Amino acid sequence: MKVELFPFQKIALKQLRLQSAEALGSYRRTHTPQVVSFTAPTGAGKTIIIASLIEAIYFGDENYPDQQNAIFVWLSDSPQLNEQSKQKIDLKADKIRLDQCVTISEDSFDREILEDGHIYFLNTQKLGKSSNLTRHSDNRQYTIWETLANTAREKNDRLYVIIDEAHRGMQGREAGRATSIMQKFLKGSPEDRLSAMPVVIGMSATLERFNKLVEGTTSTIYRVVVAPEDVRASGLLKDRIVITYPEEHSVNKDMAVLQAAADDWKGKWDHWYQYCYEQHYGQVNPIFVVQVLNNTADRISDTDLDDCLRKIEERTGFRFQSGEVVHTFGQTSGTVHVNGLNVRYEEPSRITEDKNIRVVFFKENLSTGWDCPRAETMMSFRHAKDATYIAQLLGRMVRTPMQMHIQVDDTLNDVHLYLPYFDAATVEDVVNALQSTEGGNIPTEVYGETLSGQTFDTLTVKPVRHHKHIPQPDANQMTLFPREETGSIDNQLQQATSATQPASAESTTVLQANTPSAPAEVSQNDGQTEPAQSSDTSDQPTEQSEPQADLFDREAVMKFINDSCLLTYDVRTVRINDYLISLYRIA
């Protein structure tokens, strides 16, 4: 493989190689169908692990001989998933040739038996009764069922069927139909004259899903399970998913939330640029994913796309160029015009590799066939009834773009979702769906917060300073109020504002430093720390005249960093918690 597997992936690969060899040997002895169940949570890299298994079977290792005539049939419920899996094998598996991966075409595929040494990609949509693959015609002598049956009968010593059940995107009747088709490979189908496949390797996100798929079979089942805590410790997934929703009685909530999402995305751009520049990494260009409403009548969407793009440009300061904004609308694969910009169609599976893409407009076709670790911020105009679908989509966004935990900037370990038409109760539905069998077992913390009550603050050495702008008097102008009265009014307004702010005692806070209202200032002459004094205290109450003590010993922090020979300082355009490791060492 071109990539180094993580330790938990190597363990899973070793177990899969053992179990698949045992399953094939057992079938040769008993002719009883064998099933290897591979269960791993979302983000564990199941496709990469299975690609490594295929490579190990083809070329052997220190424990098993090579089997270069092995035949693999990769089955999923989506052609986009097949294309994505095929691309990953092409990019990551250096020993597998490009011509070994074959997509079974509905128009041209016609074989009596599958060829040795190939990986065939097939999806359930091509196996329905109305599909060309399942019917004889003037151009097709063998149906796909006959091809599979012939291969299972003649080459059962080297045939492996891989069922990718981990990325289920279908729901309702379509999901039931796909499950029935997949079960034909496990149970056989007398109607299609198909026997159960000799060895089936099933990929699934949860045990419940795969148990439902194999119920009623007589196969021998081997199990390989990856624990969620192993995936979390690897750094492959984001630490947190933060779901933001508006206040209960806010107006114009959709565009207000869109502006907040655009601000968050712009902040991610700044933080990623600063981090990659300092660490000498290639730039990570985060993507802003915007889910719009479906169309009615002759409109391409009921969401005002022109206004959306205009608001994003206003908030971020970006002026998008051609190719930076794309769409994945299923009803058209052509270019649409949004706010004077040509927005082209892009296949979901190709988005993550195009570093030029910044904004993606989509409707419903990103929950499957799509892995985009660069998707850092998502805004959805969908309504609260779509909680399960949004949960499935979020499951595709939790992967880290650099496949590691960012130690020096906690902002880069979060993914944010903005839902203008949700409230606290419906956001809880999304959280539950993320942790259910539908959303998959995601080893990531999920939180909901209102737009005004931000939950998470990253740690910084410097105290938070709120500088209030006081206009300087102009000699040619007059004021109706003396300076003292202006100060009193400001104080009253400040007290009224603080009194109306909601309590945040129940908010979950991630490591926050104590920040005094009157920060200490260091004298340049003697180095002694003195509390800052207000220039005008006539209107201040007596109990507020004494400054609060700064419990955060900043001089000790700086001394420790200097003693550790960390003497290089950079002026950053964004504030990041790059002192976090040093603070942990102090503690």
DSSP secondary structure letter of residue 350: G
Task: Say how far apart CA 140 and CA 129 lie, in whole Å.
Answer: 15
CB proximity list for 256: less than 8 A, separation 6 or greater: 246, 250, 420, 451
Domain ranges of the chain: 7-233, 236-450, 459-487+513-587
**Helix H segments across 96-214?**
144-154, 172-187, 207-214
| 3-class DSSP assignment, residue 501 | coil
Count CB-CB contacts under 10 A for residue 459. 14
Hey, what are 492's tokens? 């009253």
Fold matches, 7-233 and 236-450: yes
Count CB-CB contacts under 10 A for residue 183. 19
Task: Say how far apart CA 490 and CA 498 lie, in whole Å.
Answer: 12
Distance of CA 369 to the CA centre of its chain: 13
Hey, what are 98's tokens? 């490009």
Fold category of 7-233 in CATH: Rossmann fold (3.40.50)
pLDDT means over runs of 10, the chain (587 residues): 93 97 96 94 90 96 93 91 87 90 92 97 91 90 96 96 71 69 92 94 82 84 91 87 79 83 94 92 94 84 93 95 92 86 89 92 73 88 75 78 88 90 82 61 70 51 43 55 44 45 38 37 40 44 52 71 61 57 55
Tell me what pLDDT residue 20 has: 97
User: How many Cα atoms are found within 13 Å in the side-chain-facing hemisphere of 342?
Assistant: 6
Q: Which CATH architecture has domain 236-450?
A: 3-Layer(aba) Sandwich (3.40)
Whether the CB-CB separation of 149 and 157 falls below 8 Å is answered with no
Distance of CA 464 to the CA centre of its chain: 31
Q: Which amino acid is at 319?
A: R
In 3D, which of 302, 313, 306, 446 has the Cα closest to residue 381?
302
| 3-class DSSP assignment, residue 150 | helix
Tell me what pLDDT residue 448 has: 76
Distance of CA 450 to the CA centre of its chain: 21
Tell me what pLDDT residue 250 has: 64
Tell me what pLDDT residue 461 has: 38
In 3D, which of 128, 378, 147 has the Cα closest to residue 262?
378
In 3D, which of 66, 47, 48 has the Cα closest to residue 56?
66
Task: Say how far apart CA 246 and CA 419 lie, in whole Å.
Answer: 8
